[in-house]
C-alpha cells in the first residue's frame, strides 16, 4: 500500500493562511492503514487548525469528512455538494487522492496535507518500510523475492557491490544490504546457485512517467500484436 | 423464539436485570443511575439486595479469575443510598379493566406494580394484616428489616394500587365473587403450607412448623418454647428459625439436616453465620421419630450417607444401619418443605396439580378459567423471591396483552457469553472481593438488628470496579480499514484479522478501550463510553467550571480503577474527569479542553505495575506526547499539558501555567495579574 505522512503543521498553516472555510478530507484507504490520514487524524488536524486560527484572531470554519478513497470519482462524488460550502479542501490522502479531488471537483481548490512517501509494507506496530518502486518490470522472481531496485540504494541488479560492510550498506549503517538479504533468502530456499545467474538488464521504459494502465488498451495492444 | 446474548449475570437473572449497567454506574460513582437501572425491572431492590439467591453471582465470570463480583451487596448499596428515590409518578388509569390480585407477596405486588404502570386499576387481596407475604412475615428482621419491606410496599401502593388486608380467600370471598367484580384475577397466594413428616410422634405438642413459627415472631406473638430446640431442614427457613431461636435467648439449638453442607440449600455463608451464633448443625442426620408424653421430649435420629444422585441432581441420603440416636428436645421446628394451600380453590373449577399447585398453560400464567391467571410459588412450589418477581412481571405482561388483544410478548432465549479463555484468565489482574461488614456475634445474638451492615461507598466502588464489563467492550464498525493496529496493540490479544474487517471477540474483550483510542479510522466503539459522550462530558465540565470563574481552569483526567473513590488529589482549580483506564484518554480528549478555553490539562499517572489493563499507562504517555506536539505546533504551548500524579508536582505545573498566562483561546474571563 501507499505510505504517506502528514506535513509539518507550520507548512499546512501556511498553505491555508488565506482560507476561511476549510474541509479537512480524510481517505479511508492506504493512509488510514498507515495511521496518518484517517478519521482520527482528520479530527486532530481540524482541531489544530481551529485553534491556530483563533490564536491569530481568525474564525476559520473547519469541516471534517472522510471518504473511502479519494482516487476514485464515485467516492469523490459523495462530497460534491458539501464541497461547495468551502474555500478549500485540505486533502489527507496520498498524491493520487489529492489529484483525484482536483480532477473531479474542478471548481474548488485542493491542497495537500500529506507528503506521499512510498509503496510499503508494515514491519511492526506503527512502522512501514518501502519495498516496491513500481518500476514496471518486476525482477522478484530472480532475487529470492526481495527487491534490489528498492531495497538497494543503488538499485544494483547483480550485487552485492563492494560497499557492503557486515551486511549493511555503505550509504547508511541503518540500511541492510539488499544483496546480503537476497543471499540469505536463497540460502534458506536451498537455491544458492541462483546467485550465480545473471539478472538480465531491465526494461526501464516500462517505468516511464507518467505510468498508465488500462485493461482495455492492454487488450487492444495484444490484439494488434497477434 | 429469538436469541439474545447477554452478559452472564444478566442472562442468569430471572428478570434479566442489567447488572453490568448498574454495577458500572456504581463504579463511576453514579448511584442514582444504578438504582434507576435496577428499578426498571424490580420493585423490590432493597429486599433483593439482602435476600436474593443471586443467580447472577453464580454466573459471574470474575469467578474464573478470583471470586465473583458481590452483586447483591452492590444492589443493596444502591438502594440504601437512594432512599426515597421514585422512578415513577402515580400513573393515570388509561383502561377500564379492573384487576384483582390474591396474595401480596413479591409475585402479586410486582404484577400490581407493573399493571398499575400500564394504566389499570388494581386491587390486592391479602389474608394477613400486613402486605408483603413472606417478605414481611417469613424472613426475620436480622436478615431483612421489616421497615424496608414496608417502604417498598408503600412505593407500590403509591402508584394507585388498592390493598384489602385481612381478606382471606375461601373465608371472606371466593374466586367466583372476584370474577363478578373484576375483569381478571391473578392468583399469587404462594406456597406456605408446611409439609409434615409421616412418622410417629408428629402430632405431639411442642412440634411447630417453621413458617408458622416465624410468622408468630414477626407478629410479636412470642411463645415460650422451652430450652432445647431441634430444627429440621436445610433451607433458608430452617436456618432463619434456628437463628431466631438464638435471638429469643435459647442456648441449645440444633439443626438436623440429612445431607452435607455442600448440598445445603441455605448455603455456606448462612450455615457458618448460624454456627458462629452457637447453633449446632448435624449434617447427614435424619429424624425418624418424635417421642414424648403428650409433649415432645426427644427426636430419634439416624445417621445418613450420600448415595446415588436423585432427580434433583443431588446425591440421595441413605440411612446407615444401627446408627440411631436420640436428641433431647423441648421444641421441634419443622422446615422440610412447603406446598401451596389451594384448598379454598378446590370448588372453583380451577385445574389443580397433585401437590396443590395451580396448573397453568405456560409462563403467561393463563389457567383453564378465562380471565384467571396464576404464577409464583402457587404454580412452581417454593422458589426464590426473584423467581416470584419474574413471574409477577410475566403475568402482568400477559394480562395486558390479553386485554389489549396483543400477541403475547415474544419469548427470548437468553444465551450467556462463553467462558473466558484460560490464557486470558492468566492475564487478568486479580482483586479481592470486598467483605460484607457484619455485626459481631455478641452484638447480634440477643436482638434482631440487621447482621449485614452494607458496603461503605469506598467498598462499593471498589467492588463494582471488579466487574469485567462482559460484552461491554469494543465493537468494530464497517468503516474499519483493517489496518490491524488493534490486533498489534491489544494487551490481551483479542482482536484478530477477519475477511473484511477486524473482528473483536465480544466474549473475551476486557473493555480497556486502548484499541479505540488508537484506531486511525475511529471505527472502534466502546459500549460504555461513546466518543460523543466523552466530548459532551468535557463540554459540561468546562461549562460548570466557568460558572465558578476560577483564575486558572485546569481539566484533570484520572483512572478510576487506580483511584476508585475520587480524584487522586484535590486542588481548587482542577476539574476532574474519571476514566475507566487512562489508556482511553486519547489525543483528541487531551486537546479538546483547550479548544473550549481550558488553561491546562493534567493527567494522573497510575502507579508502576498498577494498570488494571497492563498497558494503559504506556498508551496514555504516548497520547500525551503526541498531544503536546500538536499544542506546541498550534502555538497553544506544550507546557499546558502534562502528566501530574502528585500534589507536589502540581504546584510546579501550576506555577509554570501561571507564568505562561491564561489560554489565549479563553474568552471573557480574567486571569490573575
The pLDDT value recorded for residue B194 is: 85
A168 domain residue, yes or no: yes
For residue A14, give how far its alpha carbon lies from the nearest alpha carbon of chain B (Å).
12
Same domain, A51 and A88: yes
pLDDT above 60 for A53: yes
For chain A, the three-class secondary structure string (H helix, E strand, C coil) is CEEEEECCHHHHHHHCCCCCEEEEEEECCHHHHCCCCCHHHHHHHHHHHHHHHHHCCCCCEEEEEEECCCCCHHHHHCCHHHHCCCCEEEECCCHHHHHHHHHHCCCCEEEECEEEEEEEEECCCCCEEEEECCCCCCCHHHCCCCCHHHHCCCCCCCCCCCCCECCECCCCCCCECHHHHHHHHHHHHCCHHHHHCCCCCCCHHHHCCCCCCCHHHHHHHHHHHC
* C-alpha torsion A63→A69→A70→A74, nearest 10: -100
Residue numbers in A near B630 (CB within 8 A): 9, 44, 47-48
- Where are the strands (E) in B64-216, listed by range? 98-102, 121-126, 162-165, 184-187, 193-194, 207-209
Same domain, A31 and A100: yes
Residue numbers in A near B587 (CB within 8 A): 44
Same domain, A88 and A157: no
Q: Of the given ranges (A59-68, A141-150, B214-223, B246-255), which has the lowest mean pLDDT?
A: B214-223
Same domain, A98 and A170: no
A218 domain residue, yes or no: no
Range of the domain at A168: 137-197
Same domain, A180 and A104: no
For residue A179, give how far its alpha carbon lies from the nearest alpha carbon of chain B (Å).
30
A193 domain residue, yes or no: yes
For residue A152, give how far its alpha carbon lies from the nearest alpha carbon of chain B (Å).
27
Q: For residues B215 and A30, which has the higher predicted lDDT (pLDDT)?
A: A30
Same domain, A114 and A142: no
Q: Are B99 and B182 in contact (CB under 8 A)?
A: yes
Same domain, A104 and A190: no
| Optimal mutation site among A13, A38, A67, interface B, most CBs of chain B within 10 A | A38
Predicted confidence band of residue A106 (pLDDT cuts 50, 70, 90)? confident
CA distance B593 to B532: 14
> Is B521 close to A10, i.e. CB distance below 8 A?
no
pLDDT above 60 for B669: no
Sheet harboring A2-6: ordered strands across?
Answer: A2-6, A114-122, A128-132
A212 domain residue, yes or no: no
Predicted confidence band of residue B671 (pLDDT cuts 50, 70, 90)? very low
CA distance B132 to B161: 13
The pLDDT value recorded for residue B667 is: 63
> Is B520 close to A33, i.e. CB distance below 8 A?
yes
The pLDDT value recorded for residue B646 is: 81
Same domain, A148 and A113: no
pLDDT above 70 for B672: no
**Mean pLDDT over residues B519-548, rounded?**
92
Domain boundary among A88, A118, A148: A118
Same domain, A109 and A153: no
A218 touching chain B per CB within 8 A: no
The residue of chain B with its CA nearest to that of A66 is B521
The pLDDT value recorded for residue A218 is: 87
- The answer for A 116-175 residues in CB contact with B (under 8 A) is 122, 124-126
Same domain, A113 and A143: no
pLDDT above 70 for B566: yes
Query: How many domains, chain A?
Result: 2
Predicted confidence band of residue B224 (pLDDT cuts 50, 70, 90)? low
**Mean pLDDT over residues B530-553, rounded?**
90
Minimum-distance CB partner of B664 among A39, A50, A55: A55
**DSSP reduced 3-state for B96:** coil
> Is A33 close to B519, i.e. CB distance below 8 A?
no
Same domain, A92 and A144: no
pLDDT in tens, A60-69: 999 999 999 9
pLDDT above 50 for B427: yes
A153 domain residue, yes or no: yes
**Mean pLDDT over residues B34-42, rounded?**
96
CA distance B476 to B515: 10
| Optimal mutation site among B486, B497, B522, interface A, most CBs of chain A within 10 A | B522
A124 domain residue, yes or no: no
Domain boundary among A118, A153, A169: A118
**Mean pLDDT over residues B243-272, rounded?**
93
The pLDDT value recorded for residue B491 is: 95
Q: Of the given ranges (A181-185, B325-329, B355-359), which has the lowest mean pLDDT?
A: B355-359
pLDDT in tens, B635-651: 999 999 999 988 788 99
What CATH code is carried by the domain that includes residue A100? 3.40.50.2300
Q: Look up the ipTM and state it.
A: 0.91
pLDDT above 90 for A221: no
Residue numbers in A near B481 (CB within 8 A): 28-29, 32-33, 38
Same domain, A167 and A83: no
pLDDT above 90 for A225: no
DSSP state of B263: G
- The answer for A 60-119 residues in CB contact with B (under 8 A) is 66
Length of chain B: 673
Minimum-distance CB partner of B633 among A10, A28, A124: A10
A214 domain residue, yes or no: no
Minimum-distance CB partner of A52 among B521, B587, B635: B635
A47 domain residue, yes or no: yes
Q: Of the given ranges (B125-139, B200-214, B398-412), which has the lowest mean pLDDT?
A: B398-412
> Is A47 close to B630, i.e. CB distance below 8 A?
yes
Q: Of the given ranges (B17-21, B398-402, B527-531), which has the lowest mean pLDDT?
A: B527-531
Q: Which three cell numbers stand for residue A125?
A: 506496530
Give residues with Cβ within 8 angstroms of A53, minimum separation 6: A59, A60, A62
pLDDT in tens, B342-384: 888 888 888 999 888 999 998 889 999 999 999 999 999 889 9
Average confidence score pLDDT of chain A: 95
**Mean pLDDT over residues B51-80, rounded?**
97
Domain boundary among A56, A91, A118: A118
Amino acid at each position: 500500500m501507499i505510505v504517506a505522512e502528514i506535513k509539518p503543521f507550520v507548512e499546512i498553516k501556511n498553505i491555508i493562511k488565506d482560507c476561511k472555510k476549510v474541509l479537512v478530507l480524510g481517505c479511508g484507504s492506504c493512509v488510514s492503514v498507515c495511521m496518518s490520514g484517517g478519521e482520527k487524524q482528520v479530527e486532530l488536524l481540524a482541531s489544530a487548525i481551529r485553534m491556530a486560527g483563533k490564536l491569530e484572531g481568525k474564525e476559520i470554519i473547519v469541516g471534517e469528512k472522510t471518504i473511502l478513497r479519494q482516487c476514485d470519482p464515485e467516492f469523490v462524488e459523495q462530497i460534491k455538494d458539501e464541497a461547495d460550502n468551502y474555500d478549500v479542501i485540505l486533502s489527507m490522502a496520498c498524491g493520487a487522492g489529492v489529484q483525484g479531488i482536483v480532477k473531479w471537483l474542478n471548481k474548488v481548490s485542493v491542497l495537500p496535507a500529506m507528503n506521499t512517501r512510498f509503496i510499503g509494507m508494515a514491519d511492526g506496530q506503527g512502522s512501514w518500510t518501502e519495498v516496491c518502486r513500481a518500476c514496471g518490470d518486476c525482477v522478484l522472481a530472480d532475487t529470492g523475492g526481495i527487491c534490489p531496485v528498492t531495497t538497494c540504494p543503488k538499485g544494483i541488479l547483480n550485487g552485492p557491490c563492494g560497499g557492503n560492510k557486515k551486511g549493511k550498506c555503505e550509504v547508511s549503517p541503518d540500511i541492510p544490504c539488499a544483496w546480503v538479504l537476497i543471499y540469505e533468502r536463497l540460502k534458506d530456499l536451498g537455491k544458492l546457485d541462483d546467485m550465480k545467474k545473471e539478472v538480465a538488464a531491465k526494461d526501464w521504459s516500462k517505468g516511464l512517467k507518467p505510468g498508465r494502465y488500462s485493461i482495455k488498451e492492454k487488450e487492444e495492444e495484444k490484439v494488434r500484436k497477434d | 423464539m429469538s436469541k439474545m446474548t447477554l452478559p452472564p449475570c444478566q442472562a442468569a437473572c430471572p428478570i434479566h436485570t442489567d447488572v453490568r449497567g448498574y454495577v458500572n454506574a456504581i463504579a463511576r460513582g453514579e448511584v442514582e443511575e444504578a438504582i434507576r437501572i435496577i428499578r426498571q425491572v424490580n420493585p423490590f431492590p432493597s429486599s433483593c439486595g439482602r435476600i436474593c439467591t443471586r443467580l447472577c453471582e453464580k454466573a459471574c465470570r470474575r469467578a474464573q479469575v478470583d471470586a465473583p463480583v458481590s452483586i447483591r451487596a452492590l444492589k443493596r448499596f444502591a438502594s440504601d443510598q437512594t432512599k426515597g428515590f421514585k422512578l415513577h409518578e402515580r400513573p393515570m388509569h388509561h383502561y377500564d379493566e379492573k384487576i384483582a390480585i390474591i396474595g401480596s407477596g413479591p409475585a402479586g405486588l410486582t404484577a400490581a406494580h407493573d399493571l398499575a404502570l400500564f394504566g389499570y386499576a388494581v386491587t390486592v387481596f391479602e389474608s394477613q394484616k400486613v402486605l408483603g407475604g413472606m417478605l414481611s412475615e417469613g424472613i426475620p428482621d436480622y436478615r431483612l428489616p421489616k421497615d424496608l419491606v414496608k417502604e417498598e410496599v408503600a412505593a407500590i401502593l403509591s402508584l394507585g394500587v388498592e390493598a384489602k388486608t385481612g381478606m382471606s380467600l375461601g373465608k371472606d370471598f371466593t374466586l367466583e365473587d372476584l370474577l363478578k367484580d373484576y375483569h381478571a384475577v391473578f392468583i399469587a397466594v404462594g406456597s406456605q403450607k408446611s409439609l409434615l413428616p409421616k412418622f410417629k410422634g408428629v402430632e405431639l405438642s411442642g412440634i411447630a412448623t417453621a413458617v408458622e413459627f416465624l410468622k408468630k415472631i414477626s407478629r410479636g406473638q412470642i411463645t415460650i418454647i422451652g430450652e432445647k430446640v431441634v430444627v429440621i431442614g436445610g433451607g433458608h427457613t430452617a436456618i432463619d428459625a434456628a437463628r431466631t431461636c438464638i435471638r429469643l435467648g435459647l442456648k441449645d439449638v440444633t439443626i438436623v439436616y440429612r445431607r452435607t453442607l455442600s448440598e445445603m440449600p441455605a448455603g455456606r455463608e448462612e450455615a457458618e453465620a448460624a454456627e458462629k451464633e452457637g447453633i449446632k448443625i448435624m449434617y447427614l442426620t435424619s429424624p425418624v421419630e418424635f417421642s414424648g408424653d403428650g409433649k415432645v421430649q426427644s427426636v430419634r435420629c439416624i445417621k445418613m450417607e450420600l448415595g446415588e444422585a436423585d432427580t434433583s441432581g443431588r446425591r440421595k441420603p441413605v440411612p446407615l444401619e444401627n446408627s440411631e440416636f436420640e436428641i433431647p428436645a423441648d421444641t421441634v421446628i419443622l422446615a422440610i418443605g412447603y406446598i401451596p394451600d389451594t384448598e379454598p380453590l378446590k370448588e372453583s373449577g380451577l385445574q389443580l396439580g397433585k401437590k396443590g399447585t395451580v396448573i397453568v398453560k405456560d409462563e403467561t400464567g393463563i389457567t383453564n378459567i378465562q380471565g384467571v391467571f396464576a404464577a409464583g410459588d402457587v404454580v412452581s412450589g417454593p422458589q426464590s423471591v426473584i423467581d416470584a418477581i419474574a413471574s409477577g412481571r410475566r403475568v402482568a405482561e400477559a394480562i395486558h396483552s390479553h386485554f389489549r388483544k396483543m400477541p403475547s410478548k415474544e419469548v427470548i432465549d437468553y444465551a450467556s457469553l462463553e467462558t473466558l479463555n484460560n490464557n486470558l484468565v492468566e492475564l487478568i489482574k486479580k482483586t479481592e472481593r470486598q467483605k460484607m461488614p457484619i455485626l459481631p456475634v455478641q452484638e447480634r445474638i440477643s436482638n434482631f438488628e440487621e447482621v449485614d451492615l452494607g458496603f461503605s461507598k469506598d467498598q462499593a466502588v471498589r467492588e463494582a470496579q471488579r466487574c469485567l464489563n462482559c460484552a461491554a467492550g469494543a465493537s468494530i464498525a464497517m468503516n474499519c480499514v483493517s489496518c490491524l493496529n488493534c490486533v498489534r496493540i491489544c494487551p490481551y490479544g483479542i482482536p484478530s484479522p477477519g475477511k473484511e474487517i477486524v473482528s473483536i471477540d465480544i466474549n473475551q474483550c476486557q473493555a480497556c478501550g486502548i484499541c479505540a483510542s488508537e484506531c486511525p479510522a475511529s471505527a472502534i466503539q466502546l459500549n460504555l463510553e461513546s466518543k460523543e459522550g466523552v466530548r459532551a462530558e468535557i463540554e459540561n465540565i468546562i461549562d460548570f467550571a466557568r460558572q465558578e470563574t476560577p483564575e486558572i481552569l485546569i481539566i484533570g483526567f484520572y483512572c478510576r480503577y487506580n483511584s476508585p473513590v475520587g480524584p487522586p488529589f484535590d486542588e481548587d482549580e482542577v476539574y476532574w474527569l474519571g476514566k475507566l483506564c487512562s489508556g482511553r484518554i486519547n489525543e483528541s480528549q487531551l486537546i479538546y479542553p483547550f479548544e473550549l478555553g481550558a488553561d491546562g490539562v493534567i493527567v494522573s499517572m497510575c502507579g508502576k505495575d498498577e494498570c488494571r489493563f497492563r498497558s494503559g499507562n504506556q498508551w496514555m504517555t504516548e497520547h500525551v506526547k503526541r498531544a503536546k506536539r500538536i499544542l506546541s505546533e498550534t502555538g497553544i504551548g506544550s507546557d499546558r499539558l502534562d502528566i501530574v500524579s502528585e500534589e507536589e508536582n502540581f504546584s510546579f505545573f501550576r506555577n509554570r501555567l501561571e507564568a505562561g498566562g491564561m489560554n489565549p483561546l479563553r474568552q471573557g474571563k480574567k486571569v490573575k495579574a
